[in-house]
């Protein structure tokens, strides 16, 4: 049986017949026109999900019958953060969606010297809300259980300061550079212990200034090349995240023994969340 998955913030599975309201109820009842008996999945972004069945659809609400919690498998053992300098909005949206599909646990964005815009105040909050919605949709589409953290920093200095705070300690910090003194990811693979966490940093369309690259190296980032060709932003990010997950994550078939890294079994999905 095919089930569409939907994100429900704060849902804990405590109600046998939960009632959905607002935009999600409108989507189920009026956009998708799900009929009684339709099978769905509910995900809370905190590692839990449930099978459910539509009981009835009203004008402003949808009532479900909750089923059993879904069986769990492990997410990538790699604690992966994607950091990105502000770039074109459509590319940022695409990169975030692909990042969620490729297993990132955090998405951090900030303005660089060559970014074409900055985000502050209400504009920043609107952008964060949009990115969270994109992440929720991607989470449902790809079968993950944990919703990535999404945040903005005021600039490069604030970003580097944040690295010393609440982010994973002893992470391998990787900086994608188009030129200069760089090495390949395979070189990093052979020169250090297996990392439990990686922060992958990519610049905007114009790249990093020489001063920014020097500051990042001083801040502990190791510059890497993504090959001899010039890549578009979204291609560069996808290539970097895929290579990182292949070398250190789960694209090569590895799994983790830590139950805290659980995701949901990816069976029976054909739709996205709200």
**Are 4-73 and 79-248 in the same CATH fold?**
no
pTM for this one?
0.84
Residue 273 pLDDT grade (very low, low, confident, very high; cuts 50, 70, 90): very low
CATH code of 79-248, in short, is 3.40.1280.10
The model's pLDDT over 6-32, given as tens digits with 9 standing for 90+, comes to: 999 999 989 999 999 999 999 999 999
- Distances in Å between the Cα of 87 and the Cα atoms of 95, 111, 117, 152, 269 are 10, 8, 8, 13, 31
Element (H, E) at 50: strand 49-57
Joined together, the tokens standing for residue 198 give 């990686």
117 contacts: CB under 8 Å, gap ≥ 6:
86, 111
Rounded to an integer, the average pLDDT of 196-211 is: 92
Distance of alpha carbon 125 from alpha carbon 227, whole angstroms: 36
CA atoms within 13 A on the CB side of 165: 6
Domain ranges of the chain: 4-73, 79-248
Q: Which CATH class is domain 4-73?
A: mainly beta
**For position 71, what pLDDT does the model report?**
76
CA angle 68, 73, 76 (to 5 degrees): 145
């Amino acid at each position: 049986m095919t089930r569409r998955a939907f994100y429900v913030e704060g849902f804990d599975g405590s109600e046998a017949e939960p009632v959905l309201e607002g935009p999600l109820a409108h989507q189920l009842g009026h956009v998708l026109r799900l009929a009684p008996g339709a099978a769905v999945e509910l995900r809370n972004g905190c590692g839990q999900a449930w099978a459910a069945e539509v009981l009835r659809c009203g004008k402003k609400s949808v009532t479900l019958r909750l089923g059993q919690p879904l069986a769990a498998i492990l997410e990538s053992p790699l604690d992966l953060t994607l950091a990105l300098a502000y770039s074109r909005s459509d590319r940022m949206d695409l990169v975030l969606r692909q990042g969620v599909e490729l297993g990132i646990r955090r998405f951090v964005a900030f303005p660089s010297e060559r970014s074409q815009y900055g985000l502050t105040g209400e504009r920043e909050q609107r952008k964060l809300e949009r990115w969270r919605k994109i992440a929720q949709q991607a989470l449902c589409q790809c079968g993950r259980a944990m919703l990535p953290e999404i945040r903005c920093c005021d600039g490069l200095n604030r970003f580097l300061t944040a690295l010393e705070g609440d982010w994973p300690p002893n992470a391998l910090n990787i900086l994608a550079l188009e030129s200069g003194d760089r090495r390949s990811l395979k070189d990093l693979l052979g020169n250090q212990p297996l990392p439990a966490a990686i922060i992958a940093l990519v610049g905007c369309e114009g790249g990093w200034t020489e001063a920014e690259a020097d500051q990042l190296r001083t801040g502990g980032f190791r510059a890497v090349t993504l090959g001899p060709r010039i890549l578009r932003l979204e291609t560069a990010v996808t290539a970097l995240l895929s290579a990182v997950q292949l070398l250190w994550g789960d694209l090569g078939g590895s799994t983790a023994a830590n139950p805290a890294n659980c995701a949901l079994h990816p069976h029976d999905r054909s739709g996205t969340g709200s």
